[in-house]
Amino acid sequence: MKNTIFRSAFVAILGLAVYSCKDDSNDPAPVKTNSDTTVVLQGNLSTMTLVDTVKYLLKGYVFVQSGQTLTIPAGTVIFGDKASKGTLVINKGGKLIAEGTAAKPIIFTSKFGAGERDKGDWGGIIILGSANVNQNNPAIEGVSPAVNFGTQNSTANDSENSGILRYVRIEFAGIALSPNNEINGLTMGGVGSGTIIENVQISYSGDDAFEWFGGTVNAKNIVALGTWDDDFDTDFGYTGKVQFALSVRDPFSADQSGSNSFESDNDASGTTALPKTAPVFSNVTVFGPRFDSTSSVSGNYQHAAHLRRNTATSIFNSVITGFPIGLRIDGKTTYDNYSAGLGEVKNNLIISLGNRAAPKPFNGGTNLVDDSVKNYYLAGNPAGFVAFTNQLNYSTLGIDVTLYNGKTPAYPANPNFAVPTGVISSGANFTFSKLGSSFFTNVGFHGAFGATDWTNDWSNFDPKSAQY
């Protein structure tokens, strides 16, 4: 289902008797959208199974409360209402079973027609659980009245199960309600590791694509396309694992707050609260906004990875390119976490642009590591700076990013992310202790892809033109 990608970016029915359960006792009347019967979902849903031949519309905050389960079959299309900020909220104790297939993904998207869709056309999906967080009964951002999630500094519920998201696309979601109060494409608060997140694509989110607030949930084969703010945002003591993730950015779509691919905090104030934010990412491919050394991009782009506020996020075996700055370790407590090995950024390929024969970490138009790292150590601890950069163990390649997949800057209509034989297709290292979990698949390649492209069939890199 992959169609044309944006050219300047990377790589770039039946009206059945199905009802929502509302706070009042009245059944919703089906509404007409594009001459097809669409069933409105709103308020609190009882346990129910949708029908793949029916189109649905989320209006306002739609809750699956504790003890209830919403099951969505493969191939179902669910639209979000913009005026009411349609948002699906799986509350603590509720479950969402959204299990699509490669041939029939489940699609959450804008209610507008082809060519009319844009980021922030509806709210998004929020999943809440009772797993470990480092805050006291926090409320998830973006929902009013407040709903809470997580259990502070307790592992008792870390394996809880909030359901399944498999072969799911979430398009044009993400609404910024006010500064630091946004609904993302997919927001996860205190979600446990019994929950399955696999083959999920977030496209054109009006805020972050994926954001984890605490919890232990893992994820594999995830895609962030054309995100407005950050692709992979972690906070409040998230300690899950992510493998095989792809970020593809639009050169001119970035938030004034500063857009990154990774952004990570322990909490908003950078406290020592436990558990410390310490997820482990491996095999991530980040295509930043710049596809050669001279292309113009939004001035709001910042870092491929902005690790700050006492975080200890780890990144291994990944490929990062196209951002003005590759890595920023921000603040003394954060530096100390990495110097002590609490967080590790190792065996990654940070690719410079422009075919420079011998790029250096702090030389040229694209810095591979932010100068703040260098200045912090050189100011009073030059030996510490050497130790720190050795601990990072990043690599640099003096190649143009277009050589990554053997394509020219005029990217094909059907992008193929499989890598040719070369430095990227080899050299992964899974001997690091943080990669010892059985969750991680031991592969030989850097980045999200080897000889096959797992985005085939179920993803869509031109959702603005899709006909639903």
Cβ pair 411, 401 in contact under 8 A: no
CB neighbour class for 294 (10 Å; exposed up to 12, middle 13-18, buried from 19)? exposed
Closest CA to 184 of 130, 255, 273, 93: 255
Q: Which residue has the higher pLDDT, 415 or 356?
A: 415
Closest CA to 72 of 86, 95, 52, 55: 52
Contacts of 387 (CB under 8 A, 6+ apart): 339
Closest CA to 215 of 235, 244, 186, 243: 235
- Alpha-helix runs per DSSP H in 299-443: 332-339, 371-380, 382-392
- Over residues 317-327, the pLDDT tens digits come to 998 877 777 78
Q: What is the mean pLDDT of the chain?
A: 82
Among 131-135, 209-213, 388-392, whose mean pLDDT is lowest? 388-392
- Over residues 377-386, the pLDDT tens digits come to 455 555 555 5
SS3 at position 14: coil
Percent of the chain past pLDDT 90, that is, above it, reads: 57
Give the count of alpha carbons within 13 A of 67, CB side only: 1
The pLDDT assigned to 360 comes to: 35
SS3 at position 87: strand
- Over residues 217-233, the pLDDT tens digits come to 999 999 999 898 899 99
The pLDDT assigned to 363 comes to: 28
Closest CA to 304 of 247, 242, 356, 376: 247
Closest CA to 94 of 131, 69, 126: 69
Adjacent-strand bridge partners of 345: 315
Q: Kindly tell me if the per-residue pLDDT of 188 is higher than 60.
A: yes
Q: Kindly tell me if the per-residue pLDDT of 31 is higher than 60.
A: no
Each domain of the chain, given as residue ranges in start order, spans: 31-465
Confidence of residue 21 (pLDDT cuts 50, 70, 90): very low
Q: Which residue has the higher pLDDT, 68 or 33?
A: 68
Mean pLDDT for 114-127 is 96
The pLDDT assigned to 322 comes to: 76
Q: Kindly tell me if the per-residue pLDDT of 358 is higher than 80.
A: no
Contacts of 154 (CB under 8 A, 6+ apart): 132
Q: Kindly tell me if the per-residue pLDDT of 72 is higher than 50.
A: yes
Confidence of residue 303 (pLDDT cuts 50, 70, 90): confident
- Over residues 170-179, the pLDDT tens digits come to 999 998 776 6
The pLDDT assigned to 46 comes to: 96
The pLDDT assigned to 410 comes to: 38
Closest CA to 468 of 166, 184, 80: 80
Cβ pair 3, 24 in contact under 8 A: no
